[in-house]
């Protein structure tokens, strides 16, 4: 992280669907950040993210939920066509992209299936839960794979990531639209506490100055939420009586 950052952005889901999507986004980001595997450390970061992603995908009908949300976003865009001064070409471009995304997602195999069936991914996944279980004597398959030419490993990784592209593209499109639907507004907490209504919202986004070294503890659901600000240093840190921050309800 850069030392010149003056604010920190926090995001909090207001329903289980959004909670799952943010976790998937987080894991996809880790996969791409560690896609150039050149050591056992980078390999374990990649495979651990892949393993966690497969576990999350097993817990619900992610593909079905994404399809429903893509349709919902298209319907919301239709409402903008009656707003005076709206950029119709932009609306049409976004709708066309959403339709293309739906087509890709519908035609894609079961999400994550290619990774589940890959022998190397499966072998590593089985050993990740064992402390130190990915040593060369435990996983000779991984050990020899790490000694293959970099170009060959890159091709393998790219092939794995390509199987996740329909998921990645759909999720990115949806989260971008949801995030853009909320405008940041200046708010003030009193004695470290703030609460408000969140009717129909999916996501809270907070920008907080780094100066006070505070973080938000958020509890909420689709109709109401509460935020309590706590100091990073629980013993010496202080919460100001009035704290200004920015909040977007998306």
- The C-alpha atoms of residue 16 and residue 37 are separated, in whole angstroms, by 33
In a domain, 200, yes or no: yes
Task: Say whether both 73 and 156 belong to one domain.
Answer: yes
Q: Write phi, then psi, for 232 (nearest 5 degrees).
A: -60, -40
- The C-alpha atoms of residue 248 and residue 234 are separated, in whole angstroms, by 27
Here the tokens at position 20 are 């799952």
In the chain, the number of structural domains is 2
Range of the domain at 113: 16-181
List the beta bridge partners of residue 249.
204
Residue 3 has pLDDT above 80, yes or no: no
pLDDT at 5: 66
Q: Name the percent of the chain lying above pLDDT 90.
A: 73
38-48 pLDDT per residue, tens:
999 999 999 99
61-82 pLDDT per residue, tens:
899 999 999 999 988 887 777 7
88-110 average pLDDT score: 87
In a domain, 6, yes or no: no
Averaged confidence pLDDT in the chain: 91
Q: Which of the residue ranges 57-61, 170-174, 206-210, 223-227 would you say has the lowest mean pLDDT?
A: 57-61
Note whether 172 and 22 are within 8 A (CB): no
Sign of CA dihedral 96, 98, 102, 103: positive
CA 195 vs CA 8, 10, 19, 183, 208: distances in Å: 20, 16, 20, 17, 16
Q: Which of 181, 202, 224 is the last residue of a domain?
A: 181
pTM of this prediction?
Answer: 0.91
Task: Say whether both 71 and 86 belong to one domain.
Answer: yes
Task: Say whether both 108 and 206 belong to one domain.
Answer: no
3-state secondary structure of 227: strand
25-47 average pLDDT score: 96
Phi-psi region of 189 (alpha: psi -120 to 50; beta: other; left: phi over 0): beta
* H helix intervals, the chain: 16-33, 40-58, 62-79, 88-107, 113-117, 119-127, 140-145, 150-163, 165-180
Q: Which of 146, 181, 216 is the last residue of a domain?
A: 181
DSSP 8-state class, residue 184: -
């Amino acid at each position: 992280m850069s030392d010149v950052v003056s604010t920190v952005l926090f995001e909090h889901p207001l329903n289980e669907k959004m909670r799952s999507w943010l976790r998937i986004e987080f894991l996809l980001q880790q996969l791409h950040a560690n896609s150039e595997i050149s050591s056992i450390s980078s390999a374990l970061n990649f495979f651990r993210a892949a393993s966690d992603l497969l576990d999350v995908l097993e817990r619900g009908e992610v593909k079905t939920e994404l399809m429903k949300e893509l349709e919902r976003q298209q319907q919301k865009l239709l409402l903008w066509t009656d707003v005076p001064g709206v950029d119709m070409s932009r609306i049409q471009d976004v709708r066309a992209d959403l339709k293309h995304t739906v087509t890709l997602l519908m035609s894609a195999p079961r999400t994550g299936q290619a990774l589940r069936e890959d022998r190397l991914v499966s072998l590593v996944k089985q050993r990740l839960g064992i402390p130190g279980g990915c040593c060369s004597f435990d996983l000779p398959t991984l050990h020899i794979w790490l000694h293959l030419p970099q170009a060959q490993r890159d091709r393998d990784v790219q092939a794995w990531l390509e199987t996740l592209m329909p998921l990645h593209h759909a999720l990115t499109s949806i989260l971008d639209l949801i995030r853009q639907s909320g405008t940041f507004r200046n708010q003030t907490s009193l004695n470290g506490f703030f609460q408000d209504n969140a009717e129909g919202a999916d996501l809270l986004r907070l920008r907080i100055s780094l100066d006070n070294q505070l973080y938000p503890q958020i509890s909420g659901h689709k109709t109401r939420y509460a935020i309590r600000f706590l100091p990073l240093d629980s013993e010496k840190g202080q919460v100001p009586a009035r704290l200004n921050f920015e909040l977007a309800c998306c």
